Amino acid sequence: MTLFAWSEDRFLRYATAFFLVLWIACVGPVRTWATDVGIRSWWIFGVAPSLFAGITFATWQAVATRVSAWTAFAFGIA
């Protein structure tokens, strides 16, 4: 394993963890907060959890299969 591959793998692991936390936060506390404030009907609160779930899945697949982030992104788009 080269140093470049290790650093990219580390970046993908951190990105996966970060987007997983954002996904869980958007599904739980952020939705509750948006409901309390009265802005739950804004489209961003409906789209954000799905967006973060998709990004989490793509980065997790890049880590699990050891492909580049761009390859995982291309397969996700396809």
Q: Please report the DSSP string for 18-36 in residue order.
A: HHHHHHHHHHTHHHHHHHH
Nearest Cα to Cα of residue 71 among 61, 20, 16? 61
Question: Tell me: the pLDDT tens digits for 11-51?
Answer: 888 989 999 999 999 999 998 898 899 898 888 888 989 98
* End-to-end Cα distance, the chain: 29
Question: Tell me: the pLDDT tens digits for 50-67?
Answer: 989 988 988 888 888 887
Q: What is the pTM of this model?
A: 0.74
Say what the pLDDT of residue 3 is. Answer: 47
